[in-house]
Amino acid sequence: MFDRIIRFLTRLFWRFVPLRRRRLTPEGCAEGDPLEGVYLPERFEILDPCVSVTGRVRDDIEEADDGDVTFGLYLPRDKTWMVNDVNRAHYDGALHIEIVPMDQPRIRTPKPGQIVRVTGPHMTDLPHGHNEIHPAYRIEVVSAEA
């Protein structure tokens, strides 16, 4: 019950408090701090401050305790360098993607099976060990079904 209240308040804060929205370059990269809006940003090691990758959305879309929407993205063979052994062992080889509450009003959550292009910082989540794009600055649907 307490977790639900925290999630609700986090989402409410980012949706209704008049704060600055993330500004993007024409390429879809963030202007300024790439980790703005990320809960405990010191947990991450940035591998690349802005990448774009296309892949198929895994059927594991959920909302994390901090209000982030998370899902896995299956990558084409030429992009598997973006995942590590933890992704392969615990995420079926998928790259972990997170949409932070700050960006949820302007980014639609994709549906499982869609082919999407995700843009954001490529990083390692140090406590969990996997690689991810967090936050996703832009998600574009390339095709509705794989």
Return the CATH number at 135.
2.40.50.140
Supply the pLDDT for residue 86: 98
Distances (CA, A) of 50 to 57, 70, 120: 20, 18, 5
**Whole-angstrom distance between the N-terminal and C-terminal Cα of the chain?**
37
Average pLDDT over residues 47-59: 97
Distance CA 89, CA 98 (A): 19
Find out whether 34 and 49 touch, Cβ atoms under 8 Å: yes
Q: What is the DSSP string of 103-132?
A: TTTTSPPPPTT-EEEEEEEEEEETTT--EE
Distance CA 61, CA 118 (A): 15
- Per the structure, the complete domain to which residue 115 belongs is given by 2-143
Instruction: State the pLDDT confidence band at 15, using cuts at 50, 70 and 90.
Output: low
User: Are β-strands 95-99 and 131-133 bridged in parallel, bridged antiparallel, or unpaired?
Assistant: parallel
Neighbours of 122 (CB within 10 A): 18
Neighbours of 26 (CB within 10 A): 5
Average pLDDT over residues 97-115: 94
To the question of pTM greater than 0.95 for the whole model, the response is no
The domain tally of the chain equals 1
Supply the pLDDT for residue 18: 42
